[in-house]
Amino acid sequence: MRETTRDLFPGLRAWLLLAAVWVAGCGTKGSGPEFEDHLEYHVPPHRPASFSAGVDSIRDRLTRVTVGQSVGDDPELRRQSTELREIIEWLPELAGDSDMRKPQWDQVNEISQRLLKEYLRLESRPKVSTSELLAALLPMVESLDTLKAYDIPR
């Protein structure tokens, strides 16, 4: 009986196909300084450098932001509202980037979650005045303010 190449090298086609795909994916197209720019982690310009800066930024933005469905399609108002929400979401991570102890971090996390929940509730309403926004959120921001003393940069 005559043996064929297929009989002598079972799975050869699969290995050749795998090698071709691997070689094609290892080209030099993705190297050099222009490619390295795409590898860097993008940090939004409104991201605070620390937990303390984040709390200060929230306090500052609360007096300037428009919240609620009245934001509509205005891109600037929507950007401001989105940035404030993102900063609130980042607070636990910013606190975790410091040498803050776990009990204080747990407080930051709990207050941040309540703050975000209330902010999202207000954001879904038709119109929210600045005084209403401050009345609802400022007490939680003040609680976070007391935890800034534990924000020890690494």
Decide if pLDDT at 152 tops 70: yes
The mean-pLDDT minimum among 7-21, 56-70, 116-130 falls in 7-21
CA 75/CA 33 separation, integer angstroms? 33
pLDDT score of 83 = 95
Decide if pLDDT at 44 tops 60: yes
Task: Provide the whole-model pTM.
Answer: 0.72
**DSSP secondary structure code for residue 69 in this structure:** G
- Within 10 Å of residue 141's Cβ, how many Cβ atoms? 17
CA 103/CA 124 separation, integer angstroms? 32
Residue with more model confidence, 103 or 152: 103
Instruction: Calculate mean pLDDT across residues 108-123.
Output: 96
Decide if pLDDT at 111 tops 60: yes
pLDDT grade, residue 153 (50/70/90)? confident
- pLDDT exceeding 90 applies to what percent of the chain? 52
CA 119/CA 82 separation, integer angstroms? 11
Decide if pLDDT at 84 tops 70: yes
Amino acid letter at 94? L
pLDDT score of 140 = 97
Q: Which two tokens mark 23? A: 């070689």
pLDDT grade, residue 49 (50/70/90)? very high
